[in-house]
Amino acid sequence: MKKLPLYPSEPVQTGESRRGFLKMMAQAAGITLLASCDAETRERFFQQNFRELSPAQLRRAIARMERDYKDQYGADVRVGAEPAIDGVIFAYALDLSRCIGCRRCVHACVWENNLSRDPEIHYITVLEMEKRHGVDLHHADAYYEADQVPREGHFYFPVACQQCDHSPCEKVCPVGATWKEPDGVVVIDYDWCIGCRYCMAACPYGARHFNWATPTIPKGELNPDTHILGNRPRPKGVVEKCHFCLQRTRNGRYPACLEVCPVGARKFGNLLDPDSEIRQVIDTKRIFVFKEELDTQPKFFYFYEA
């Protein structure tokens, strides 16, 4: 076997080389390109992950988004960036013995959170299950149709993001575009998401949805009250999911699905406040979490009225 020389036979080039030349040319081309486009495009291109934005950068990013949405939808959209409230961890509870499967929550969520109408995205999936089988995904139908609900012998099991404390989606994201906020809500930076959909594969609840095409929202139906990590209109090619209506809940209001529920099956509140409705539910009802065996530690609790 031929031995490789310890030193190159030719002296190392210190001046011009093909590689050096190409590098220089590429740099020059890049600088020219960046210099030729306006400051806004430049900033858009170099926008940092949401968690690393300085206050000034965040302000500029929000102003830019609001301009974009004005052009796109002709509406004065407010993009809020309210941070998590100190001493608050959000949690949700759902009374399975009350839910009648009317899907009001599904559609209130679509309107509130500017979900794409076509291709269709729903954050909430209502599963129709059979009473004789209990909570069993082998006997669950998300596409039930009926003249009237509830149907005899059935109960209804709405599933959306469970806002896990050990969120598998967050673990697998290769770019850190999704994370858990201090108030426990798992959010997505829509500008940082690369659309690899690992998180969708990791989520055991089917709670994450991908924008296969540019979302369509009819012009008059855009909800102009938005949050930067919540319901602002999404671009094509990113993943989205339930965020407990950040634009509402961080301003003290209830999520839209809760307010619309005609039977009062949904409960929401601050897990850290012993007097909150959610704590009263946890203290006085027999609650359970969905797919407990996976140790995802959801902040979404189900219970039966006893």
Partner 1 sequence: MTREQPRPAPRFTARHVAMVAGILIVASLPFLVLGANPASRAAGTATPPPRGTDTGDVELVELLEFECLPVAKDETVGEEQYAVPLPPFSKDVFPCTRCHDKPDDFNPTPRNLTLDHLGIKLVHGPREQWCYGCHNPTDRDTLRLAGGRTVSFTKSYELCGQCHGPKLRDWRLGIHGRRTGCWNGKHEYLLCVHCHDPHAPEFPAVAPMPRPKTPAEIRLDHNAENEQ
Residues engaged in binding partner 1 (CB under 8 A):
100-104, 106-108, 111-112, 117-120, 122, 125, 142-150, 221, 223, 225, 249, 251-254, 256, 258-264, 266-270, 275-277, 280-281, 284-285, 306
Among the listed residues 223, 219, 264, the one whose alpha carbon sits nearest the alpha carbon of residue 99: 264
* Minimum gap (Å) between residue 228 Cβ and partner 1: 19
End-to-end CA distance of the chain: 82
- Closest approach, Cβ 269 to partner 1, in A, equals 5
Q: Smaller CB distance to partner 1: residue 47 or 223?
A: 223
What is the token pair recorded at 276?
């909150």
Considering just the CA atoms, what is the radius of gyration of the chain in Å? Answer: 25
- Which H or E run contains 301? strand 300-303
Least distance (Å) between residue 187 CB and partner 1: 18
Cα–Cα distance for residue pair 89/91, rounded to 1 Å = 7
CA distance 129 to 53: 45
Smallest distance from the beta carbon of 245 to partner 1, in angstroms? 11
Q: Quick one: 228 or 261, whose CB is closer to partner 1?
A: 261
Q: How far apart are CA 175 and CA 139, in angstroms?
A: 37
CB of 222 to partner 1, least distance (A): 12
Alpha-carbon gap, residue 236 to 90, rounded angstroms: 29
Minimum CB distance to partner 1, residue 76 (Å): 14
CB of 121 to partner 1, least distance (A): 9
Among 258, 181, 195, CA closest to 227: 181
Q: Are 57 and 49 in contact (CB under 8 A)?
A: no
Report the alpha-carbon distance of residue 123 to residue 128 in Å, rounded.
16
SS3 (DSSP) at 172: helix
Residue number with CB closer to partner 1 (116 or 296): 116
Nearer to partner 1, 72 or 280 (CB): 280
Least Å distance between CB 250 and partner 1? 10
Rounded to 5 degrees, what angle do the CA atoms 41, 44, 49 make?
Answer: 165
- Nearer Cβ to partner 1, position 33 or 142? 142
Q: Do residues 63 and 156 make contact, with C-beta atoms less than 8 angstroms apart?
A: no
Q: In this structure, are residues 211 and 116 in contact, taking their beta carbons and an 8 Å threshold? A: yes
In the complex, minimum distance from the CB of residue 20 to partner 1, in angstroms, rounded to a whole number: 48
Output 106 or 186, the one with its CB closest to partner 1. 106
For partner 1, the closer of residues 47 and 114 by Cβ is 114
Closer residue to partner 1, CB minimum distance, 199 or 256? 256
Which amino acid is it at 88? V
If the CB atoms of residues 118 and 292 are measured against partner 1, the closer one turns out to be: 118
Residues 268 and 277: beta-carbon distance below 8 Å: yes
